[in-house]
């Protein structure tokens, strides 16, 4: 069984990407987000 991980951050994507996190294939969503944005991101991750 494989697992999925998605991080939620209050930082902008620019700040997160400075550390190379997004290059590792880690899924991240920025808060605040609404339920539709969260649902869409979850569908993409799965």
Residue spans per domain, the chain: 6-45
Spatial contact of 38 and 16, defined as CB atoms under 8 Å apart = no
In this prediction the pTM is 0.64
pLDDT at 1: 42
Any idea which residue has 């969260």 for tokens?
A: 38
| Torsion angles phi and psi, residue 10, rounded to 5 | -85, -10
Where residue 40 falls (left for φ over 0; alpha for ψ -120 to 50; beta otherwise) is alpha
Q: Which residues of the chain fall short of a pLDDT of 70?
A: 1-2, 16-17, 19-25
d(CA 24, CA 40): 21
Check residue 20 and report its DSSP letter: T
């Amino acid at each position: 069984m494989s697992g999925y991980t998605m991080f939620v951050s209050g930082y902008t994507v620019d700040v997160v990407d400075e550390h190379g996190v997004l290059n590792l294939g880690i899924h991240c969503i920025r808060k605040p987000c609404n339920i539709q944005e969260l649902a869409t991101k979850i569908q993409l991750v799965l």
